[in-house]
Structure 1
Amino acid sequence: MATAMATAANGNLYAGLVHDAPEERFDPLVEREGVLIERIVSTGQASPPGFWYDDAREEWVVLLAGAATLEFADTADTAGQSRRLVPGDYVHIPAHCRHRVSWTDPAVPTVWLAVYLGAQA
């Protein structure tokens, strides 16, 4: 009986960075039931005015390069907070915690590693 062999996936999180890309880039790295790990590259992009992410999944994100500011909706838990991120900073965002990216550094690519857990959006 033949068995399927798993192959290791590999790459470099800093490969293929474009410094003046017109749009954010989202690269899925690992997808399994209930888990998505993706690289996000921002080059000065931000969420549109009035737009809020409201995901059914938990999100854990770490900033690997660049800089960014996250804003959280005015709720009992977050009280309208904003959080400036530099390389090494990470944030756990609970499911349905409304948030937005209000700023990313336009001078250098901002590289995020995002891990989504739980229900599919």
Structure 2
Amino acid sequence: MENLLSSLPQTLGAEAFESIIEASHVRIERIVSRGHTSPDYGWYDQEEHEWILVLEGAGTVLFEQGPEIHLKKGDHLTIPAHARHRVSWTDPETVTVWLAVFYR
């Protein structure tokens, strides 16, 4: 048995991505942020749908066509495939732990 909120990185020079499960039609990741945002190179435009859940902390997801959605502990959001988006803010004062489920 494992706990998604244990073994969190003590220092975060960059966001930490950890694969939890990978199968042919689904991928689950734990993402740990602290003041991190998406890379400056552009928008995520994914082949898969993505469902995200904030387990700890808070973050904001900005869609290219709007809106900007603020998520806090317990909030979840579905991002359809090819919905161009980016993380525009995560709490710099506390760790934000996301659970991301990618599926086709």
- Residue 43 of structure 1, CA deviation: 1.2
The residue that corresponds to 2:83 in the other structure is 97
- Residue 39 of structure 1, CA deviation: 0.5
Moved more, 31-40 or 17-26: 17-26
Match for 2:80: what amino acid? P
Tell me which of 15, 18, 23 is aligned to 2:14: 23
Match runs of 1:1-121 below 5 Å? 10-49=1-40, 51-74=42-65, 80-118=66-104
Conserved? CA contact 1:67–1:85, under 8 Å: yes
Q: In structure 2, what is the Cα distance between the partners aligned to 1:48 and 1:36?
A: 21
Q: In structure 1, what is the Cα distance between the partners aligned to 2:64 and 2:10?
A: 30
- Residue 48 of structure 1, CA deviation: 3.0
Conserved? CA contact 1:58–1:92, under 8 Å: yes
Structure showing greater Rg = 1
Secondary structure of the residue aligned to 1:28 is strand
- Residue 19 to residue 68, structure 1, CA distance change in 2 (3 Å): farther
Deviations 1:43-71 (A, max 9, x none): 11101335210000000000010010100
* Higher strand proportion: 2
Conserved? CA contact 1:61–1:92, under 8 Å: yes
Deviations 1:15-56 (A, max 9, x none): 122354111011111111110011100111101335210000
Structure 1 runs of 4+ aligned residues shifted over 3 Å read none
TM-score (norm 2): 0.94
Structure 1 vs Structure 2: percent identity of aligned residues?
47
The residue that corresponds to 1:77 in the other structure is none
Match for 1:58: what amino acid? H
Gapped regions of structure 2 (runs ≥ 5): none
